[in-house]
Structure 1
């Protein structure tokens, strides 16, 4: 889902360029009439938009105008938290200790109910050290459609069924509660309750195939219940 019309125009105006209405239309994929309505809506909302008159003139965000707070959906916020988790696990020197602060500030931008939901999701994403050489060499990017569906099930706390190919190439059918996601960069794992085995199991995401989300919810349990030694290797995002 793309940005709302006014936010799409505002994001373009925010880069300090001078924009004509036609250029805004071309870059946003909107009609010139829609662009003009969006600009009028932004001005009515109190966003200062300066206009340069004369030949070749255009519009730009006013020097004293502040962009409104970023509004992210739960899906977008989780995606950003995933990216920060990857950056932190890599120990990027340019960000360093700032990443923990960024994660906290990201959570603080939400209204209290959404903030509580993001906090619950953060506790379900566990980050460990980068993967071993052997895991990195064998890791393959999971199918994008499968990971999107798994993410939906993870966010909605819905039971999934999938075919799993283990590291020794054995295939099995699994019915699992996707309780936690684990990261040993670049490898992602699903830590869940295997319904058939009635026990916690860990699955590499690149081994999950033909995933289906079932119409059945589950209650979150502690990661220690699924993997008693999880604290030795992972910490919550």
Structure 2
């Protein structure tokens, strides 16, 4: 329990530093409510942050706010492993799309992130990157019907993909037919701006491709699946946009 409390406090301190740097005006009361702790706890956190050398300014008087000097900590970034993995994968996607804009420093960021991982975690990240595929840009027909999937669905797909666990779906085809599916999210395919899940459909025991914005519901199950070679899914990777 003590270890969990320590971890929670360290994470709260990181979030407080980011929040105080971004927000123009935060009160101790507001911070306590947002983080679900007492005002006394936040006050102790602020004292500890000052002891660590952070430039925290406070306005005197009732309702006074606290803030972190915006010039403090330039170049510092504390990420959890999951956050670092997401950032690395996002960089890999940007690099695969070969856009000339905003790529100048991505290689340096990627090297620094990779260097912070153990060899075991580095291998895991490389495997995840190899499961993300970039296709041609979606047709105007598909783009016209596209919509952003809800955050809860995105999170469920993401977690099932990373953990290699079966994903339970409520899915709507283009013709409006809705069905419940159990799929193994083997690969993710981006045909900008549409994301597809390339999977084994357990209902048919065959490869199928599912548009993320057609998912009406998604939840991760407990069953793990075995990763299959990309070659098994080659027919599914050639998507006829008009049939999706």
TM-score when normalising by structure 1? 0.71
With a CA cutoff of 8 Å and minimum separation of 6, indicate the structure with the bigger relative contact order: 1
1:179 to 177, 186, 192: 186
Q: C-alpha distance in 1, partners of 2:215/2:56? A: 54
> How do 1:180-219 and structure 2 match up within 5 A?
180-219=187-226
The aligned residue for residue 163 of structure 2 is 156
Counterpart-to-counterpart distance in 2, 1:139 and 1:112: 39
Q: CA deviation at 1:33?
A: 2.5
Aligned partners of 2:10, 2:192: CA distance in 1, in Å? 30
- Report the Cα offset of residue 92 of structure 1: 6.1
Kept in 1, the 8 Å contact 2:185–2:198? The answer is yes
Are residue 70 (structure 1) and residue 73 (structure 2) matched? no
Stretches of structure 1 that go unaligned for 5 or more consecutive residues are 232-237
In structure 2, what is the equivalent of residue 5 of structure 1?
A: 12
Spell out, residue by residue over 1:142-191, the C-alpha distance to the aligned partner (whole angstroms, 9 max, x if none): 23322222222212211123233223334444321111111112101000
Q: Which residue of 49, 55, 68 corresponds with 2:54?
A: 49
Following the alignment from structure 2 to structure 1, what is the Cα–Cα distance between the partners of residues 67 and 50? 12
Matched, 1:25 2:32: no
- Structure 1 CA distance for aligned equivalents of residues 182 and 59 of structure 2: 67
Indicate conservation of the 8 Å contact 2:136/2:191, yes or no: yes
C-alpha separation between the residues in 2 aligned to 1:213 and 1:65? 38
CA–CA distance in structure 1, aligned partners of residues 167 and 74 of structure 2: 44
Whether the 8 Å contact between 1:129 and 1:184 is mirrored in structure 2 is yes
1:106-134 per-position Cα deviation (integer Å, ceiling 9, x unaligned): 34333444333333222222223332211
Q: Could you report, residue by residue, the CA deviation over 1:39-92 in whole angstroms, capped at 9, with x for unpaired residues?
A: 333355xx3235779979987559786775412241x34543565466554836
CA RMSD of aligned residues (A): 4.0
Q: Give the TM-score of the pair, scaled to structure 2.
A: 0.69
User: Secondary structure, in 3 states, of the residue corresponding to 2:167?
Assistant: strand
Question: Which consecutive unaligned segments of at least 5 residues does structure 2 have?
Answer: 1-7, 239-244
Contact kept in structure 2, 1:9 and 1:35, CA below 8 Å = no
- Partner of 2:44, secondary structure, is helix
CA contact under 8 A between 2:168 and 2:180: conserved in structure 1? Answer: yes
Q: Which structure has more helix as a fraction of its residues?
A: 2
Distance 1:3 1:27, change over 3 A: farther
Q: CA deviation at 1:218?
A: 0.7
* Secondary structure of 1:227's aligned partner: helix
Structure 1 contact 90–130 (Cα < 8 Å) conserved: no
